C-alpha cells in the first residue's frame, strides 16, 4: 500500500510540474515568416526578426493552453532595405502609428495526432480579426546539455491583408491580397 501511495504522489508531482506551465519563445530557434504573391507569377518572402511570445499550458493537454505574441513591425525583413522601408510606411504597416502586431489565442482544438486548430485574434494596424492557424505539435524535450525543457510547434495560416487595413495596391494585381504566414516556434520552460 505504501508503494502505491508513493507512486500516486510521484505521478501527481510529475503532472503538476507541467500543469499550466509558462513557456517563453526561444528567438534563436523560432521564425515568423510570410509570403505574398507578386505580379501573379512569383512570391516575395519576408520575416519579422523581433518578437516576444509565450505559451501557458500543459504539454499533456494542449487544448487548455494559451498563446500570446507581440511582434515589432519595425523588424520586417525581406532582405531588400528599400522594400522594407516601404513596408514600414503607411502604405503597408504604418509602424510609426502602429508599431506592434499581436496575437492572442482563444481556443486550441485537437483534430488529429499532433494536429490542432489554433483560433485567436490577430491585430495589425489596430484592427483585430479572428484567425485560425493549422498547428502542429513538434514535441517536448529535456535539453540535458543546457538543463532546459523545450517545446516545439509549427503553425500556418493565410490572411487577407485588406481585412487589416493593409490596402496598398487595392486591385491586388501587383501585390496579392492573401498573405501566407508560417511560424516555427521553440519555447523554453520558465524556471
Question: Which CATH entry fits the domain spanning 21-189: 3.40.50.10070, 2.60.120.10, 2.40.128.110, 3.40.140.10?
Answer: 2.40.128.110
Is the predicted pLDDT of residue 137 greater than 90, yes or no? yes
d(CA 135, CA 132): 9
- For the chain, the straight-line distance linking the first and the last C-alpha, in angstroms and rounded, comes to 34
pTM: predicted TM-score of the whole model, two decimal places: 0.86
Q: Give the H or E element holding residue 100.
A: strand 100-112
Mean pLDDT of 133-148: 87
Mean pLDDT of 143-161: 90
Is the predicted pLDDT of residue 8 greater than 70, yes or no? no
Question: Could you read off the pLDDT of 38-88 as tens digits, one per residue?
Answer: 998 899 999 999 999 999 999 999 999 999 999 999 999 999 999 999 999
| Segments making up each domain of the chain, as ranges | 21-189
DSSP notation for 117-137: EEEEEEEETTEEEEEEEEEEE
Amino acid at each position: 500500500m505504501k508503494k502505491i501511495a508513493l507512486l500516486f504522489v510521484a505521478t501527481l508531482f510529475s503532472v503538476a510540474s507541467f500543469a499550466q506551465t509558462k513557456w517563453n519563445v526561444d528567438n534563436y530557434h523560432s521564425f515568423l515568416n510570410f509570403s505574398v504573391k507578386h505580379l501573379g507569377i512569383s512570391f516575395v518572402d519576408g520575416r519579422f526578426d523581433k518578437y516576444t511570445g509565450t505559451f501557458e499550458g500543459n504539454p499533456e493537454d494542449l487544448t487548455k493552453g494559451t498563446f500570446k505574441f507581440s511582434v515589432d513591425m519595425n523588424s520586417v525583413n525581406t532582405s531588400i532595405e528599400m522594400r522594407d522601408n516601404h513596408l514600414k510606411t503607411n502604405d503597408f504597416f504604418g509602424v510609426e502609428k502602429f508599431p506592434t502586431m499581436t496575437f492572442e489565442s482563444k481556443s486550441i482544438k485537437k483534430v488529429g495526432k499532433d494536429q490542432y486548430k489554433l483560433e485567436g485574434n490577430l491585430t495589425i494596424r489596430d484592427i483585430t480579426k479572428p484567425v485560425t492557424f493549422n498547428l502542429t505539435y513538434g514535441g517536448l524535450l529535456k535539453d540535458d546539455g543546457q538543463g532546459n525543457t523545450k517545446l516545439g510547434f509549427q503553425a500556418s495560416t493565410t490572411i487577407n491583408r485588406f481585412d487589416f487595413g493593409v490596402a496598398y495596391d487595392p486591385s491586388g494585381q501587383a501585390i496579392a491580397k492573401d498573405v501566407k504566414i508560417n511560424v516555427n516556434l521553440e519555447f523554453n520552460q520558465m524556471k
